[in-house]
Structure 1
Amino acid sequence: MKSEIVSIHARQVLDCKCRPMVEVDVVTEDGSAGRGCAPTGSSVGAAEAYVLRDEDKKEYHGLGVRKAVENVNRIIAPALLGKDVECLADIDAVMLELDGTPGKTRLGGNAIYSVSIACFRAAAALNKKPLYEYIAGRKIKTVPVPSFNIVNGGRYENLTQPFNEFIIMPYGADHIDQAVEMGVLVFQELEAVLGKYLGHKPAVAPSYGYAAPSGDPEVVLELMEETVKRCGWQGRIGFALDCASSEMYEKETNSYLLKGRRISADEMIAYSEKLTERFPFVFIEDLLDEEDWEAYERAHQRIRLTNLIGDDLVATNLDRLKKAYQMSALDGFILKPNQVGTITEAMDTYRFARKNGMLAIPSGRAGGVIGDVVMDLALGLEVGFIKNGAPRSGERIDKLNVLMRACDMNPGCSISDIRGLLKFKK
């Protein structure tokens, strides 16, 4: 049968941060091929699938993935030879059984996920379709609105900005080319605005945005607001935050860091509510710690002018999303398939969200790759908007090119109209 798997081979390659990652090639009987690899994040949720690394300090400071590669070549590959590449759920089920652990700690989530993607792509190649069209089951009609992570928080030498990502989203663009241009030009103009505020050229942060100029989130947002106005796009560009609050949460005191002091969850909720009354937020992500479920429930009841989104809280895990839905704790989640470890599980989580009116926002990872399968999911599922990084590094620019290319190659395709998803005061 032409769709039977005849070859699976894994190797170690590098992600955009020069950290080792697993890459897998899958080939079918008729020669159709698919390739998959497993990027990883900088902010990693505790509930994510396990990334198996070698811990050998002599190679890449312990970050090598040769054990995961060996697990693909010696354990996974023999079990999948002869399987039908179009039956991805069955393939993923075999790998989950082989691993036998809740967090994929035996074989490694990075090993399993890379194989899952490679099989997915081989199936699309077998059908002679782009993967996004294979996912959609037809020609696509829309492409999502991109967003741009332009200022990066974190701990710097002379300040700590507790919020991880400051994001702009050109929701008022007329077409995808304009949306990309708006994001790029605001990002470029921001360099001058930050330079004037700082008195020197802004630094480049590890995630390729500008390093936060202040530990006060409002200062950063005001500078972003000024930049948007200088570009003449006020009323057409919204903001978003990825707070990544688990990174700044202190379990011993049950407190969060903000403006140099420790505050409670309720103080964080009240502060964020005031931000949404002042700035046009499309969404706020990971406002609270990844296990602070009750506080998320309170936040969702109180904050009405934006969409509350879970990343570390959900980790693309169906059970965690169900819990968030039952508690009415969120409006949606960040779709990062490698967090859960297989395409099948990620799609199950997506389908639950869609069925129950929750947003699913595809996103790459900090340690990204060119040709990320997340973009095929974003296009094929025809979501309203996605998360992009700063328009500075190759794999992030690649994601923008994917959007523009797909729109051009599908006549009649348009940018998604997300105005109905916006909750802020126009």
Structure 2
Amino acid sequence: MIDTTIASVLGRRVWDSRGRPTVEVDVQLCCGARGRAIAPAGASMGSGEAVDLRDGGHAFGGLDVRRAVAAVNEEVGPRISGLDADNQEEVDRAMTTLDGTPNRSRLGGNAIVATSMAVLQARAAADKTPLWKFLAQESDIRMPLPEIQIFGGGAHAARRVDIQDFMIMCPGASSFAEALDWTAEVYRHAGLLMKERGSLQGVADEGGYWPAFRSNEEVLESLVVSIERAGFKPGVDIGISLDVAASEFEENSVYTLALGNKQYDTDEWIAILGNWLDNYPILSVEDPLGENDTKGFQTFTRLYGSKCQIIGDDYLVTNAARVVKAAKDKALTAVLIKPNQAGTITETREALEAAKANGLGAIVSARSGESEDVIIAHLATGWDAGQFKVGSFSRSERMAKWNEVLRIEESLGSRAKFAGRDGLVFTPSPDSQPVED
């Protein structure tokens, strides 16, 4: 019998994709199996998500993580050593209890989530099996529909445009590999288009082109042109996905756009989004309203939930209880799933299962501050989320994750099933009843 008792935990300070310090954790089990994970970091964040512990002061703009690393080595490691990695829930509960705060602010969400993910990696390694397969066990899985940024905006691109992510999805593709092939062509043609117009100015945090547009609509039009120039039919082969990240420009239900310097109330802003849905092949919209604008979410979903997928991110912060409430409120049709937002693997899975139980879609997502860690590729496939969002089609911390799903698809051979169009979730059917948490 394999001894999956946690023998040692080691935290260290490494660097993320923005050149900022972050936390890496190694976990070794008594059987010799090892797991390693790196904490990502977001730019636009919901107020209810787990928070990173940063050092403050002048070094690295106050973003150093020596305190969080010390928390791993001096408190977290000693507390979970001797626990069984086979019981992820017990390990995660021990860490959150030790922290003692609702948002992980004492020990740091970065310290806890890196440790939680490393424990999971070690447990899979003990079985000498890929993590996705360990998670799936005997359940059927699908290769997720990728959601890939072409143009970056909002907090990821110095707010040159208001909308945070202009992305594409390829529901018409027959496989994950083909979806990436199609995306590569659209990304290439988008770059050529920007160069042709003299507006190519580098890339944003997540690898999408850094736009110099005069309006948000101009970005949408450029995306449609890029899809067409790549040889695909907008809305048929390839559709548009938006991460509005509305909390970044909403205050007291007033939405203030930097482009044009205009302000809108909730109804006016919904009308603008609705106009975009009428005029562009948009299949998915994330955080269309501010995180506290529940009535706005409900109105938007009632009006457009049968036309596009409506995702909650800052609105739900990967929290199972919030997911259940949002389903009851009929405020959206899908949930973004981020491990570092929830704080632990256990809480992350609870949020995803709450989404599925309530007829909502699930999109496992990376953060803007990422690393070479590919664990979320395994979570998206092993948990059969159906959709996967990493960022753009450039920069190695993004490509590592896309490539990992390619490897998983290849390993399944003829058994590989692509979620495709079925991965998208629009308005739930009338007979779909919410499930109690």
TM-score (norm 2): 0.92
Paired AA for residue 317 in structure 1: N
Instruction: Compute the displacement of 1:388 (Å).
Output: 2.5
Post-superposition offset of 1:139: 7.7
User: Pick from 380, 400, 418: which aligns with 1:415?
Assistant: 418
Deviations 1:254-274 (A, max 9, x none): 333264301111111111112
The change in CA–CA distance for 1:357 and 1:218 in structure 2 (over 3 A counts) is: same
Partner of 2:434: none
Q: Hey, what's the Cα distance between the residues in 2 that align with 1:226 and 1:328?
A: 34
Equivalent-residue separation in structure 2 for 1:406 and 1:79 (angstroms): 34
Aligned Cα root-mean-square deviation (Å) = 2.0
Contact 2:7 2:81 in 1 (8 A): yes
The worse-fitting range, judged by mean Cα deviation, of 167-176 and 21-30 is 167-176
4+ runs deviating over 4 angstroms: 155-159
Residue 200 (structure 1) shift: 4.6
Deviation by residue 1:327-365 (Cα, 9 ceiling, x = unmatched):
110111110011010000111111111011001101101
Amino acid at match of 2:27: V
- What does 1:222-371 correspond to in 2, within 5 Å? 222-234=221-233, 235-251=236-252, 254-257=254-257, 259-303=260-304, 304-371=306-373
Match for residue 102 of structure 1?
A: 102
Provide the C-alpha distance between the structure 1 equivalents of 2:154 and 2:424, rounded to a whole number of angstroms: 29
Percent of aligned positions with the same letter in both sequences?
Answer: 34
Which residue is equivalent to 1:169?
A: 169
Which residue does 2:383 correspond to in 1? 381
Aligned partner of 1:148 in structure 2 is 148
Residue of structure 1 in register with 2:392 after alignment = 390
Cα distance in 2 between the residues matched to 1:52 and 1:178? 40
Q: Which whole-Å CA distance do the structure 1 matches of 2:201 and 2:243 have between them?
A: 21
What is the letter of the counterpart of residue 92 of structure 1? D
Inter-CA distance 159–116: structure 2 relative to 1 (3 Å threshold): closer
Match of 1:112 in 2: 112
Query: In the alignment, residue 285 of structure 2 is paired with which amino acid?
Result: I
1:126 aligns with 2:129: no
Q: Can you list the C-alpha shifts for 1:197-245, whole angstroms capped at 9, x where unaligned?
A: 3x35343223321122324222111111111111111120011000111
Matched length: 421
Counterparts of residues 63-78 of structure 1 (less than 5 Å): 63-78=63-78
Contact 1:85–1:119, Cα closer than 8 Å, also in 2 = yes
Matches within 5 A, 1:202-217: 202-217=201-216
SS at match of 1:325: helix
Unaligned runs of 5+ in 2: 428-437
1:45 is matched with which residue?
46
Secondary structure of 1:316's partner?
Answer: coil
**Aligned residues of 1:133 and 1:139 also touching (Cα < 8 A):** no
For 2:315, the aligned partner's letter is L
CA shift, 1:75, in A, is 0.8
- Secondary structure of the structure 2 residue equivalent to 1:339: helix
**Equivalent residue letter for 2:382:** G
Tell me the SS of whatever aligns to 1:89: helix
Q: Which residue is 2:87 aligned to?
A: 87
Q: Which residue identity is paired with 1:76? A: V
User: SS where residue 142 of structure 1 aligns?
Assistant: coil
User: Per-residue CA shift, 1:2-40, capped at 9, x if unaligned?
Assistant: 111111010110111111111111101110000112100
CA contact (8 A) 2:11 2:72 kept: yes
State the secondary structure of the residue aligned to 2:331.
Answer: coil
Q: Which residue of 1 aligns with 2:435?
A: none
The question of whether the paired residues in 2 share the 8 Å contact of 1:20 and 1:63 is answered with: yes
| SS class of match (2:47) | coil
Matched residue SS, 2:164? strand
Task: Report Cα offsets for 1:277-298 as digits up to 9, x if no partner.
Answer: 2222221001111111121111
Distance 1:19 1:421 in 2: 34
Q: Distance in 2 between matches of 1:301 and 1:400?
A: 34
Change (3 A) 1:21 1:12: same
Contact 1:40/1:365 (8 A) holds in 2:
yes
1:400 maps to which residue?
A: 402
Give the TM-score taking structure 1 as reference length: 0.94
Is the Cα contact below 8 Å between 2:22 and 2:39 reproduced in 1? Answer: yes
Instruction: Confirm or deny: 8 A CA contact 2:44 2:155 kept in the other structure.
Output: no
Displacement of 1:310: 0.7
